[in-house]
Structure 1
């Protein structure tokens, strides 16, 4: 495994640490007998970062297994989300002919290595330099071969990321597929509005966008939910401290007003579709989660 220092990873705390949480969940999903998504690189990230070195990467490492709100239900949620968004981006590039994909807040995403991309595909990974450097270090040791041209774009999304993306070779005159997985609810409302407007401006007809939002009018309603409590108690990540608290903009409505065809779904719809995944429960921290899919005709 890669030896790295915590201060160099960019994932040692705050929102950055949630990338490790998702990586651990993807590792657990990978080793399930009924796996929804495969990510053979996820475990390498978990083991390489001091903050997560002791976290489980297989469900059998969790004493209460699927009954554990964090490593059971929440990890399965991330596994389902991974599968659904994998399907989205592949369907978009194959059906619309788009060959450039942009991962906004890419974190430890390994789709450039995992998915079977059409010839000529380019994956732009936009995230902070420290996170991308940690990813590069870990992947260099694992020595995988990317199945698409992978272009890291080291920039903070609070800065002028559109210029950085253009400088990386992104062509705003060509169709593109955008993915903001587990990103927007950490951003202030005005930052979400700006990001959506920028994606719209940079997208030609034939482009597609998928992102995740939370619709609760008051996030603190679920402060004592088993999922949030377990995440805080077991790995020290208080998600509610990281989420932006102000009312969220209606980004799906904004996209529809500018000509995009949009649809909004609960994760539980895909649980039923795939026959596995989280279902609603009382005091449910996932109750307000929505997955939005948008296409620009």
Structure 2
């Protein structure tokens, strides 16, 4: 992303999450009434004109909505489970236009810290202001390109984070855009501000040595690269447990998006997500 503009992929994600409203209520598994506000002007116009049938014909559109339904549901459930266990601190690392602090009543009584680039945060705040909405989140302005990640625990502490209390870190839609060095530095920073029993929920791209990408996967990589935010990193799922353990975390769960879709969505919608999709959601606990 450019220094003075919000993340384009963050806009995609928020819009797709919000466009879940196009699905029939009986099969919808995640709701975000704010997400559509971050969509492009063209998509918003189609929604306002009540032309969802037009949107449904856009190549890959239904797949993207289904994918975001699954991803959002898995991470929302991680939040709910953490709160049910007594956790009251959530860090959204690379928050983008995530509106969980606003849309999830389960987070009432919890403190949500949103960490992201100033341009993205400014766009988010101005968009929410136009809706008359004010998020209770605490914003931690962070330029990931210029600030060292080992400074993040201090930055969170300045915003009121208590490193002695359990924290859930949501790292959604971020890891694939980072270098190996940035991944390592980020995980060590997360470990530094997370006491034992804290949790990390993250999305990532599976990358098996020697495996050839499907046509759909190559198309996604081409699209995000055109937006100036190319994929750079992925894990071999078999190697992930050891990688995390070396950085202070124990892997608790790891599921592919297609597998989760088969369990959460009706067959006709789940089938739109390619079996070759490499996206996964992992949950780990601080040792």
TM-score by length of 2: 0.82
In 1, are the aligned partners of 2:201 and 2:281 still within 8 Å (CA)? yes
In 1, are the aligned partners of 2:16 and 2:36 still within 8 Å (CA)? no
Pick from 97, 120, 123 the counterpart of residue 134 of structure 1: 123
Count of residues in correspondence between the two structures = 272
2:261 maps to 271
In 1, are the aligned partners of 2:166 and 2:198 still within 8 Å (CA)? yes
In 2, are the aligned partners of 1:228 and 1:239 still within 8 Å (CA)? no
Pick from 16, 19, 22 the counterpart of residue 28 of structure 1: 19
Q: Higher mean Cα deviation, 77-86 or 67-76?
A: 67-76
Deviation at 1:275? 2.8
1:215 maps to 206
| Closer/same/farther in 2, CA of residues 21 and 263 from structure 1, 3 Å limit | same
Give ranges in structure 2 of 5+ residues lacking alignment.
Answer: none
Q: Higher mean Cα deviation, 108-117 or 25-34?
A: 25-34
Q: Higher mean Cα deviation, 99-108 or 262-271?
A: 262-271
CA distance in 1, matches of 2:169, 2:43: 30
In 1, are the aligned partners of 2:164 and 2:195 still within 8 Å (CA)? yes
2:87 maps to 98
- Aligned pairs for 1:7-156 within 5 A: 10-11=5-6, 16-33=7-24, 34-46=27-39, 52-55=40-43, 60-61=51-52, 63=54, 65=56, 68-95=58-85, 97-144=86-133, 146=135, 149-156=136-143
| Closer/same/farther in 2, CA of residues 119 and 245 from structure 1, 3 Å limit | closer
TM-score by length of 1: 0.79
Q: Higher mean Cα deviation, 171-180 or 218-227?
A: 218-227
Give ranges in structure 1 of 5+ residues lacking alignment.
Answer: 1-6, 47-51
